[in-house]
Chain A
Amino acid sequence: MKETRIIMGMPVTVEIADERAAKDDLGMVFSYFVYVDDTFSTYKKGSEITKINKRRMLRGEWSSDMREIFDLAEQTKQETGGYFDIMTPEGSYDLSGIVKGWAIRNAARMIAGAGFKNFYVDAGGDIQTGRLNPEGKFWSVGIRNPFNTKEIVKTVHLKDEGIATSGTYERGEHIWNPLEKKMVADIVSLSVVGPDIYEADRFATAAFAMGKKGIVFIESRPGLEGYMIDKKGIATMTSGFSQYVS
């Protein structure tokens, strides 16, 4: 069973391959994403993060989820040498680099908690897979061509793993390098496969901000593999990436 809805301004798709999956099981997941959007979206006037950015909430009033996200963001900032930073150039907090992967992972845990094993959750191209697809094979995930979004340029086969792609091609060059205080221009796409989507997403975001050396950073992190595409259409992959290709 599979369904796509537009939440958080992006298509969110949930597929559960187990036969007993029902519409309500998917609805539970979509409801969770709506909650995440209502809480963490900087585009929503009434969201908790908007109130925080407008200095209308004291830290002691924050929800436990908000405190968790800020803690995780701080941890990620330290693990990436400052390349991951939720503080924007304007001085407000933007949690989009960490909330999505975290929310997808939580959604996947909800599905697993309901007793399902074979599924995936895809929010705007960041994906958590569980076990196998309806044909009993690993889930096949195409990496989109950054120069032609109707094409894919690589296929990986995942089972209980996450894949996230950071890129400049969708909204223009929207990845900010907080250390050099400029937009990233050298590379156009970086896909990271990790033990779960939270790990893949946060490190994809940070490594993309590093530009060309991001793929080296991914190589240095145990459990992560990456596929980087530069503006000339040359891809560079980590040493273990090929294990997912064939």
Chain B
Amino acid sequence: MMKKFFLSIAVAGLFIVYIVIDRFMGNTRSFSVAPGIASPTTEMVVPPVQRVKSLYRDGKYTGAVVDAYFGNVQVTVIVQEGKITGVQFLQYPNDRSTSREISAMAMPLLKSEAIAAQSANVDIVSGATQTSSAFKQSLADALSQAST
């Protein structure tokens, strides 16, 4: 179940990428899949991206409804031979028809997750620059604790 959940999140993240690219970056990165989304009847066949590892079991998985910045997204993903070979959008922003199918391989796989606090047992902490004296003390303290 967790795997399916994360997969659905991943796919939702992927769709965010599409929306973002479509709205902002269309001129700087061209993805051949974009016209396929605009035209519901078109199914794109795109060569797999080598970076994607086979992390998934074969089958067809429907994810939860996920807030994807511009509205809700719900997807079904198809896995064959350990690779995502298709994604159907059951819900997405500005959608009028469903089951628009695109190839997941055409886009970088951005993944999303809800943040959660972790163990603070690290060597160093990365964060935006802070100038308050309280922070300086706190960080110096944390840094000294981090050095066991």
Measured CB to CB, the residues of A under 8 A from B are 2, 4, 6, 9-11, 13, 15, 81, 100, 120, 122, 124-127, 129, 133, 139-146, 148-155, 163-171, 189, 191, 210, 212-213, 215-217, 219-220, 229-230, 232-242
Contact = CB atoms under 8 A, between A and B. Distances in A.
Nearest to A148: B117
Contact of A234 (B25, B113, B126, B129): B113
A234 B123 CA distance: 25
A125 B113 contact: no
Interface of B: 13, 16-17, 20-21, 23-25, 28-29, 51-52, 67, 69, 108-131, 135-136, 138-140, 143-144, 147
B127 A133 contact: no
B126 A11 contact: no
A6 B136 CA distance: 8
B24 A239 contact: no
**Nearest 9 interchain pairs by C-beta:** A167-B128, A144-B127, A142-B122, A125-B127, A124-B129, A153-B115, A170-B130, A151-B117, A140-B122
20 contacts: A10-B129, A120-B124, A122-B124, A125-B125, A127-B124, A139-B123, A140-B121, A143-B127, A144-B126, A149-B135, A151-B120, A152-B119, A153-B117, A155-B122, A163-B126, A210-B24, A232-B67, A235-B112, A239-B52, A239-B109
